[in-house]
Structure formats: structure tokens, C-alpha cells
């Protein structure tokens, strides 16, 4: 599903060039559950951004579902993001003035989906997450775990094939973190490919494949 | 993205930042309001003057003694002073086929008294033709009798204000008043008509021109008012006036003919450009409002950087984000223009109540232009912030940088 070959990404920090990704190769099959670990600055977030089409590599190949994404024009990349990829962020990134239901419906609204269909899908996803009674609450009226689960609902409402989560439990207590991980894993069981970037070994241990990065390269790739 | 969704989304954004939104609406509405009010004032002034001129009469030409020379050339070596216009000159003008009516006018000031009451007023010496030429209206009685203008007659028609001051509520018709050292019988009273080009027609006494000549001991006419034989006849009338007078004045063209239309179009033009100038000055405030919108939107974009990053991550192409922010600027401008028009209409209404004589009105073109300018400044100044938002790098934007 994902085929990455000799990916390079360099940032300029002052006069110095920092190699966030260095000749990185990676293959990911559909439905995998992967934890990406590594110290700060090892390039794991950059990898996630490149895989999520938010960032463009300087060189290398990245095929997503057979689409060569590196040469794709920006607007087409946005379209691929919309249909193929869901993001879950550490800081949730919910829009504060919209209710939970409106936040979940946002990707469909941007895509121009019919309002009737939007309501139906939001309703279904709220029910599956047990958040029906929170539908009309704004983010500041939700707990951290609920916020992240609303964010997950938003990330999956377009039925993407790839779900990218950057430290999804980083801002949560253990109990809420557990809740969020269970939600993500349930989605993975449903067939979605799940990539989680994390510092937390307990969270990482739940995945079926572990990728360890140092200095922009994969130093360990282990399946359990 | 559906257009109704863009509107709801932007509406929610604007209503969640209430202070910012009101600030921008205020700036825009002041701009639009001042453009509309000032245009209404300018337009009102133009209409007022135009109306005054049309009240003077129809197809009117005014003959003044003396030549107003604007084309340069040598001053005459001998005989610098022009000849006076006389009653015979005026009568001679009646020969022209393009002239329908001629009303000679002598103007002077004299005391008018009835019993113990005395008033200093303007005395107009003229003929029966003055009534139609000058579009006067009688309230009571009749006007000066037609007949040989060189014959004196001790009758007078007085203005309504003078009548009220001398006679109060009682009838003035048939009463004898003393003007200077002569006695005149009142045969008519003018209808109240208010000011007309600075001359209060309520405060005059009109006497036959020959009587005025002997009253003021002069042969000189103040001017001659002429009604041409229709609108197309005005240029011919003007030509024949100059021909007839110069023939009578030994070949000197020593009169000036002013046509009402020339006056009207001159003033019309002056006031029109005045209106445009004033509207232009007011439009500067619209520009200021546009710059304010730009600034506030730039601030708002830097506060919403992470949100823009999120929209990009959710698959929003740059064009869509650009559109979102342009619609925001457009909605602000449109709402500001709407409030501004309400303010302007309220202001015009209040001014209209305060000064009922002044024909204030809001020209439709001014409303349309103000809204168009407001929208285009809003969008124009919205483009820069919107483009900045659209061009944000999603990774950096998501981290709030």
C-alpha cells in the first residue's frame, strides 16, 4: 500500500543543513498497525508529515495506493489527503467555535458532501464512539479523551485507508489514553492502516510492527 | 465546498470574534454612510439651485446693459461707458419673430406707507408681460393692465409679505398706498412664493414701468426679461436681441444676453462636480476602512494559523482557503455597507426634517456606487491576507508557527 524508496528531506536551520530523513526505505501493507519510535529530532514526525502528504521530500519515491505522490501538483495532493489519509494530532486541533458534530463533519463540508449524507455519517460515527450525547458540545465542554475521540471521528469520517497519529495520547492521562488507543485499534481491526508516532513504550508495545528511527534513518524494523 | 457551507462557516467565524467583527463593520459603515450622506447633500444643493433657476421662468433670456467681454481684445478707445437700455429698446425687441414676450424692468428702493405704517421695500417697474415671463402667480386681484408701456398709471401689485405687514388680515385690494411721494391703488397681491435667487418676492411692490421711471427719475432699465418663442427659438432670439440693440446703439454690441439654460447648465455642472468631489473625499474613508479590514484580517490569520493548517491537512486546496477568507472580507464589507446605508438613510431623514426647504435625496447611483466601492475595497484589501493564508505551509501552520 505504501512504498517509500530512498527518501531524503533536509531542513536548513541557520547555516546548518539538518537531515530529517536520510535515504529512507519503507514498505507498508494495507491494514498494518505500526508504532514509530525514536528520540526527539530523529525524523519520525517528518516521516509522518511526508507520508501524510503535508510535506514534500527533497528526493526519493513515495507511492501511496499506487499513486506517485512526489510529482503530484499541490491541489491533487490535497485531494489525496482528503480521500486517503486521516490525521490525529497530539493537540487535537478541533475548531473551538464548532460543536463536536460540526467538527466531525468538517472534512465532508470541505469536500462539498450533501448535508443529509453528512448528518447521517456523523450520527453513525458518534454512535459507534458512544459520543451521541456530546454531539452539540463545543470542544471546551469536552474532556481531553472525548476531544481526541472527536478528532479521531473527524479523521475517519471520509473513510480513509491510512490513519496517521502523532503522539495521540501525549496530552492525555492514562485512562483517557487507553480509551483513545482502544478506539484507534478498533478502527485498525476494521481494516484501516494505522501509524502511531509515540515516545511511550507502553503505547508502542501494543502495535504489531515497531519501527525505530535515529537520525533520519530506520535502525530497527520488527514485527511481533 | 458548497456555497451555503462557506457562508455558515464564515458566519460562525465572524460571530465568534464579536469585537473584531464590530470594529470592522463600524469602519466600513462609517465609510459608506459618509459617502452616501455627502453625495445626498451635494445632489440636494444641485437640485436646489436648478429648481431656483427653473422657477425664474420658461425660455427666459435676460438682457443686461453693458458688454461682459471675456474674449480679450482692445478696450474701446472712445466711449468706454455703454449706453443705457431704454424702454424704446425694449419695445423694439418685440419686433423679432423669435421673441414672444418682453418685460422691461426698472428696480429701485422706496418707502411704502399705509396710514401710520411705513416700510422700505423694493419697487419693480414693469409691464403686464412680467407676470408670464417671470412665472409670477397672483393670490388676489389682477396684475398690471396691458397697454402702452409709456403711459403712467397709479396702480400697484404688492407682495404677500408686504400686504400682511401693512394690512394684516384685512383686504388690501382697492386701498391706496403711498410709494415715495406718489399714491398708488393696490389692484393685486402676489401669491407667497418664498425666496427666489436672493430676491424676496413677498417684499416688493410692482408698478407700471412708466410710473417707476418718473418715481425714480430715470430712463434707464435695470434689465429686460424676454420669453423666447419656445426652446429652439432661444439661440435665434439671442441673436436678434444683439442685432436689434446694436442697430439702435450705432453698431455697438453693448448688451449682455444671459440665457436661463446657460445659467442652469453652468450651475448644474458646478454642483455635479462638487458632488463628485465630496463623494470622492468621503471615499477615502472607505479606503481607510479597507486597510483596517486588511490589518485585522492579517492579525486574525496569524491567530488562526493552526486552524488553516488543519484545513489543509483535511484536504482543503489553496484555492478553497483563499475563497474562504475572501468571502469573510466580502461578508464584512457587505454587512458594513448595509449598516452604512441604514445610517445614511437615517441621517438624510433627520436632515430632511431639520431643513425641509432643502430638497435632500439619496441618488440611487450613489447607493450603488458606495456598495460597489465598499465591496471592492473589502475584497481588494482581503486578497493579501487571504493569499497569505492560502500559501501557508501546512506543517508549520499546524505547529502554530
Q: Give yes or no: residues B247 and B206 share one domain.
A: yes
Domain shared by B244 and B104, yes or no: yes
Q: How many residues are listed for chain A in this entry? A: 224
pTM of the model: 0.73
B48 lies in the same domain as B160? no
**Which residue from A49, A81, A97 is facing B315, i.e. has the nearest CB?**
A81
Mean predicted confidence (pLDDT) in B93-101: 89
Domain stops at, among B253, B287, B313: B253
Where does residue B215 rank: exposed (0-12), middle (13-18), buried (19+ CB within 10 A)?
Answer: buried
In which residue are the cell numbers 423666447 written?
B228
Does residue B307 sit at the A interface (CB-CB below 8 Å)? yes
The answer to whether residue B63 sits within a structural domain is: no
Pairing status of strand B182-190 against strand B176-179: antiparallel
A62/A47 Cα distance (integer angstroms): 11
B394 close to A (CB below 8 A): yes
Residue B72 domain flag: no
Q: Within a domain: residue B62? A: no
Residue B69, domain member (yes or no): no
The CA dihedral of B348, B354, B356, B361, to the nearest 10 degrees, is -10
Residues from chain B contacting residue A96 (CB–CB below 8 Å) = 16
Within-domain flag for B75: no
Is the dihedral angle over the CA atoms A169, A173, A176, A178 positive or is it negative? Answer: positive
Residue that terminates a domain, selected from B200, B223, B253: B253
Percent of chain A with pLDDT over 90: 91
Nearest CA to A8 out of A17, B309, A221 is that of: A17
B201 and B289 together in one domain: no
Mutation pick from A48, A52, A93 vs chain B, by most beta carbons of B within 10 Å, is: A93
B154 and B176 in a single domain? The answer is yes
B286 and B232 together in one domain: no
> Residue B315 to residues A13, A109, A110, B354: CA-CA distances in angstroms?
28, 11, 8, 59
Which residues does chain A have within 8 Å of residue B307's beta carbon, measured at their own beta carbons?
93, 95
Specify the pLDDT at position B74: 55
Same domain, B293 and B319: yes
Q: Give yes or no for a contact between A19 and A174, defined as CB atoms under 8 angstroms apart.
A: no
Asked if B9 is an interface residue toward chain A (Cβ–Cβ < 8 A), one would say: yes
Same domain membership, residue B270 and residue B232: no
Banded pLDDT at B265 (limits 50, 70, 90): confident
The x, y and z cell numbers of residue A10, run together, are: 533536509
Percent of chain B with pLDDT over 70: 95
Q: What is the predicted pLDDT for the residue at B105?
A: 92
- Where is the domain boundary, B253, B285, B301? B253
* B59 at interface of A, judged by CB pairs closer than 8 A: no
- Give a yes or no: residue B76 inside a domain: no
Distance (Å) from the alpha carbon of B13 to chain A's nearest alpha carbon: 7
Query: Residues 310-349, chain B: which have Cβ within 8 Å of A?
Result: 310-320
Q: How far apart are CA B257 and CA B67, in angstroms?
A: 9
Number of helical (H) and strand (E) elements in chain A, helices listed first: 7, 10
> Could you tell me if B306 lies within 8 Å of chain A, comparing CB atoms?
yes
Domain that holds residue B380: 3-53+265-398
| pLDDT at residue B364 is higher than 90 | no
For the stretch A62-65, contacts whose Cβ atoms lie closer than 8 Å and that sit 24 or more positions apart, written own/partner, are: A62/A2, A62/A3, A62/A4, A62/A5, A62/A7, A63/A2, A63/A3, A63/A4, A64/A1, A64/A2, A64/A162, A65/A1, A65/A161
**Residue with the larger pLDDT of the pair B54 and B341:** B341
Min distance B19 CA to chain A CA atoms (Å): 15
B359 vs chain A: nearest CA distance in angstroms?
49
- Least CB-CB distance to B311: which of A74, A79, A110? A110
Q: Is residue A219 over pLDDT 70?
A: yes
| For residues B135-140, average pLDDT | 86
Contact A89 B398 (CB under 8 A): yes
Nearest residue of A to residue B5, measured between CA atoms: A109
> Residue B340 has what pLDDT?
93
CA dihedral for A114, A119, A124, A128, sign (positive or negative): positive
Q: Do B319 and A75 touch (CB under 8 A)?
A: yes
A95 in B contact zone (CB under 8 Å): yes
Strands (E) across B142-264 are located at 155-158, 176-179, 182-190, 195-196, 199-200, 204-208, 223-228, 255-259
- The pLDDT of A164-176, averaged and rounded, is 94
Given a cut of 70, whether residue A22 has pLDDT beyond it is yes
When scoring A53, A78, A86, A153 by the number of chain B Cβ atoms within 10 A, the one with the most, hence best to mutate, is A78
Say yes or no to pLDDT of B87 above 60: yes
Minimum Cα–Cα distance from A53: chain B residue: B313
Q: Are residues B236 and B314 in the same domain?
A: no
Look at A81 and B16 and tell me if their CB atoms are within 8 Å.
no
pLDDT at B350: 92
CA distances B58 to B28, B62, B201, B255, Å, are 45, 12, 18, 21
Rounded CA-CA distance B248/A161 in Å is 106
Residue B71 covered by a domain = no
What pLDDT was estimated at residue B77?
Answer: 53
Chain B 13-42, residues with CB within 8 Å of chain A CB atoms: 13, 16
Residues A60 and B145: their CA atoms lie apart, in Å, by: 110
Spell out which residues of chain A touch residue B316, defining contact as CB-CB under 8 Å. 78, 82, 110
Phi, psi of B55 (to 5 degrees): -65, -20
The answer on B202 and B156 residing in a single domain is yes
Lowest average pLDDT, out of B69-73, B93-97, B190-194, B210-214, goes to: B69-73
**DSSP per-residue codes, B305-358:** HHHHHHHHHTT--HHHHHHHHHHHHHHHHHHHHHHHHHHHHHHHHHHHHH-TTS
CA-based nearest distance B8→chain A, Å: 11
Are B2 and A89 within 8 A, CB to CB?
no
| Range A99-110 average pLDDT | 96
Between helix A74-84 and helix B305-313 the angle, nearest 10°, is 80
Q: Which H or E element spans position B47?
A: helix B18-56
Q: Report chain A residues whose CB lies below 8 A from the CB of B310.
A: 93, 95
Mean of pLDDT values over A84-109: 95
In A142-189, alpha helices (H) = 144-156, 174-189
Nearest CA-CA distance, residue B313 and chain A, Å:
7
- Please name the residues between 145 and 164 in chain A that touch chain B, using a CB distance below 8 Å: 154, 158
E strand residue ranges, chain A:
2-13, 16-28, 33-37, 59-64, 67-68, 85-88, 162-166, 193-197, 209-214, 217-223
Residue B64 falls within a domain, yes or no?
no
B34-78 pLDDT tens trace: 888 888 888 888 888 877 777 777 788 888 887 765 555 555 555
ipTM over 0.85: yes
Question: Is residue B40 domain-shared with residue B112, that is, in the same domain?
Answer: no
**Residues on chain A touching B306 (C-beta within 8 angstroms):** 93
B160 and B305 together in one domain: no
**How many structural domains comprise chain B?**
2
> Of the candidates A52, A96, A112, which has its C-beta nearest B1's C-beta?
A112
* Interchain contact B392–A (C-beta under 8 A): no
Average pLDDT on B73-93 reads 72
Q: What is the mean pLDDT of residues B267-285?
A: 85
Amino acid at each position: 500500500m505504501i512504498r517509500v524508496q530512498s527518501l531524503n528531506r533536509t531542513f536548513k536551520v541557520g547555516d546548518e543543513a539538518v537531515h530529517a530523513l536520510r535515504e529512507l526505505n519503507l514498505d507498508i501493507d494495507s491494514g498494518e498497525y505500526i508504532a514509530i519510535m525514536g528520540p526527539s529530532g530523529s525524523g519520525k514526525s517528518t516521516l509522518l508529515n511526508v507520508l501524510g502528504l503535508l510535506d514534500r521530500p527533497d528526493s526519493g519515491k513515495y507511492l501511496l495506493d499506487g499513486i506517485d505522490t512526489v510529482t503530484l501538483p499541490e491541489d491533487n495532493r490535497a485531494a489525496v489527503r482528503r480521500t486517503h489519509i486521516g490525521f490525529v494530532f497530539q493537540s487535537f486541533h478541533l475548531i473551538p467555535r464548532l460543536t463536536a458534530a460540526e467538527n466531525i463533519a468538517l472534512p465532508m463540508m470541505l469536500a462539498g458532501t450533501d448535508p443529509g449524507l453528512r448528518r447521517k455519517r456523523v450520527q453513525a460515527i458518534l454512535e459507534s464512539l458512544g459520543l451521541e450525547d456530546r454531539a452539540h458540545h463545543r470542544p471546551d465542554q469536552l474532556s481531553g479523551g472525548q476531544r481526541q475521540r472527536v478528532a479521531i471521528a473527524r479523521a475517519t469520517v471520509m473513510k480513509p485507508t491510512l490513519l496517521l497519529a502523532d503522539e495521540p495520547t501525549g496530552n492525555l492521562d492514562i485512562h483517557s489514553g487507553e480509551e483513545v488507543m482502544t478506539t484507534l485499534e478498533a478502527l485498525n481491526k476494521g481494516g484501516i492502516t494505522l501509524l502511531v508516532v509515540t515516545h511511550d513504550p507502553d503505547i508502542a508495545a501494543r502495535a504489531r510492527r515497531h519501527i525505530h528511527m535515529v537520525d533520519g534513518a530506520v535502525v530497527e524494523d520488527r514485527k511481533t | 465546498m458548497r456555497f451555503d457551507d462557506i457562508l455558515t462557516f464564515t458566519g460562525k467565524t465572524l460571530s465568534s470574534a464579536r469585537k473584531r467583527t464590530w470594529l470592522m463593520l463600524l469602519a466600513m459603515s462609517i465609510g459608506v454612510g459618509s459617502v452616501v450622506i455627502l453625495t445626498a447633500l451635494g445632489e440636494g444643493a444641485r437640485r436646489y439651485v436648478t429648481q431656483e433657476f427653473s422657477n425664474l421662468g420658461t425660455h427666459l433670456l435676460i438682457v443686461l446693459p453693458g458688454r461682459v467681454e471675456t474674449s480679450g481684445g482692445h478696450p474701446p478707445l472712445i466711449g468706454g461707458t455703454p449706453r443705457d437700455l431704454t424702454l424704446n429698446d425694449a419695445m423694439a425687441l418685440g419686433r423679432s419673430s423669435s421673441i414672444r414676450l418682453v418685460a422691461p424692468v426698472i428696480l429701485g428702493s422706496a418707502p411704502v406707507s399705509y396710514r401710520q405704517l411705513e416700510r422700505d421695500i423694493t419697487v419693480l417697474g414693469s409691464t403686464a408681460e412680467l407676470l408670464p415671463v417671470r412665472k409670477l402667480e397672483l393670490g388676489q386681484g389682477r396684475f398690471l393692465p396691458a397697454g402702452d408701456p409709456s403711459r403712467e398709471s397709479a396702480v400697484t401689485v404688492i407682495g404677500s409679505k408686504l400686504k400682511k405687514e401693512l394690512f394684516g388680515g384685512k383686504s388690501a385690494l382697492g386701498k391706496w398706498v403711498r410709494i415715495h411721494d406718489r399714491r398708488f391703488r393696490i389692484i393685486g397681491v402676489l401669491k407667497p412664493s418664498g425666496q427666489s435667487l436672493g430676491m424676496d418676492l413677498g417684499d416688493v411692490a410692482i408698478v407700471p414701468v412708466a410710473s417707476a421711471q418718473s418715481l425714480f427719475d430715470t430712463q434707464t432699465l435695470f434689465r429686460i426679461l424676454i420669453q423666447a418663442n419656445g426652446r429652439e427659438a432661444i439661440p435665434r432670439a439671442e441673436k436678434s436681441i444683439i442685432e436689434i440693440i446694436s442697430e439702435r446703439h450705432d453698431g455697438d454690441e453693448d448688451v449682455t444676453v444671459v440665457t436661463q439654460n446657460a445659467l442652469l447648465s453652468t450651475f448644474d455642472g458646478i454642483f455635479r462636480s462638487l458632488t463628485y468631489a465630496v463623494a470622492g473625499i468621503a471615499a477615502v474613508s472607505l479606503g481607510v476602512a479597507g486597510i483596517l479590514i486588511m490589518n485585522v484580517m492579517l492579525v486574525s490569520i496569524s491567530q488562526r494559523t493552526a486552524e488553516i493548517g488543519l484545513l489543509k491537512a483535511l484536504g482543503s486546496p489553496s484555492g478553497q482557503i483563499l475563497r474562504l477568507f475572501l468571502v469573510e472580507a466580502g461578508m464584512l464589507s457587505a454587512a458594513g455597507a448595509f449598516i452604512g446605508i441604514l445610517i445614511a438613510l437615517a441621517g438624510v431623514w433627520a436632515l430632511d426634517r431639520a431643513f425641509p426647504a432643502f430638497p435632500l435625496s439619496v441618488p440611487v447611483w450613489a447607493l450603488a456606487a458606495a456598495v460597489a466601492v465598499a465591496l471592492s475595497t473589502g475584497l481588494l484589501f482581503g486578497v493579501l491576507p487571504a493569499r497569505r493564508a492560502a500559501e501557508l505551509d501546512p506543517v508549520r501552520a499546524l505547529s502554530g508557527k
